[in-house]
Amino acid sequence: MVAENAKIIRDRIARACKRVGRSGDDITLIAVTKSFGTEEIRMAYEAGIRDIGENYVQEARRKHEELSDKPLRWHFIGHLQSNKIKYLADWISMIHTVDSIELGKQLSAWGARTKRTFDVLVEVNTTGEATKYGVTIEKASSLAKELSTLPNIHLRGFMTIGRFLPDPEESRPAFRSLRKLRDVMQGEGVPMTDLSMGMTNDFEVAIEEGATHVRIGTGLFGKRPKKNLEEEKQ
């Protein structure tokens, strides 16, 4: 089932790219596996997926350990507290959710000690909803500029979450505003390229608006099992 779903998602990605004259190769499909098990990740791997997105540090760490034989790239897409950096620093490929200069500095300091650089995105709350993490679009450019000067941080771009509404068109203005901001930053000499935006319900609109990374959970794996509250409290 995961393989079939992956094929359907890839076809939809390709068609969305075609509509706006982009290449499907420019899009990284991230399988979001929070609250699913390593079995689902293996199925995604069999379907050719190499990028995995996780929201919770302990859960991600456990799965990474179990699957350490697999050449996967792990993306952290949940809220990251700086005291948890040590648990993922050795193996995380990209952190999508940097929303403060303090977190950026802690990551950079950790990177200096362990001789690695972290690929990061600034999480932007493009819809202004109080329930979401991320900096406002007004603050995003100054944070991005500050982060881009830190030695062990490689600022790759921005991340955002669209509106949780049935009509994906409702997310389009948010995605477009983030793309514009990315373009402005590039114009000002900040070499950022990536836009992590679009989930199962709105990834095609996100691609039309310039997404480079789409984060797909239910579209690949079906409905998520009930959340493990203990794990979430970690």
Ligand X SMILES: *Cc1c(COP(=O)(O)O)cnc(C)c1O
Considering the complex, state which of residue 115 and residue 223 has its C-beta at the smaller distance from ligand X.
223
Length of the chain, in residues? 234
Q: Which of 211, 189, 188, 191 is nearest to 199 (CA)?
A: 211
Considering the complex, state which of residue 34 and residue 64 has its C-beta at the smaller distance from ligand X.
34
Task: Compute how many other C-beta atoms are within 10 angstroms of the C-beta atom of residue 44.
Answer: 27
Interface with ligand X by CB under 6 A: which residues? 32, 34, 55, 77, 161, 199-201, 215-219
What is the nearest approach in angstroms of ligand X to the Cβ of residue 231? 14
Considering the complex, state which of residue 95 and residue 150 has its C-beta at the smaller distance from ligand X.
95
Considering the complex, state which of residue 28 and residue 201 has its C-beta at the smaller distance from ligand X.
201
Q: Report whether 52 contacts 91 (CB < 8 A).
A: no
Considering the complex, state which of residue 43 and residue 216 has its C-beta at the smaller distance from ligand X.
216
Distance of CA 23 to the CA centre of its chain: 20
What is the nearest approach in angstroms of ligand X to the Cβ of residue 150? 23
The two three-digit tokens of residue 145, written as one number: 């500029």
**Alpha-carbon span 234 to 230, nearest angstrom:** 7
End-to-end CA distance of the chain: 31
- Helices 172-187, 137-148: axis angle to 10 degrees equals 40
Considering the complex, state which of residue 100 and residue 145 has its C-beta at the smaller distance from ligand X.
100
What is the nearest approach in angstroms of ligand X to the Cβ of residue 78? 7
Considering the complex, state which of residue 150 and residue 211 has its C-beta at the smaller distance from ligand X.
211
What is the nearest approach in angstroms of ligand X to the Cβ of residue 219? 6
**Whose CB is nearest to ligand X?**
217
CA distances from 27 to 17, 113, 207 (A): 9, 32, 8
Q: Report whether 221 contacts 33 (CB < 8 A).
A: yes
What is the nearest approach in angstroms of ligand X to the Cβ of residue 205? 13
- Give the helix ranges, DSSP H, for the chain: 2-19, 38-46, 57-66, 85-88, 101-114, 137-148, 172-187, 203-208, 218-221, 229-233
What is the nearest approach in angstroms of ligand X to the Cβ of residue 35? 9
What is the nearest approach in angstroms of ligand X to the Cβ of residue 196? 8
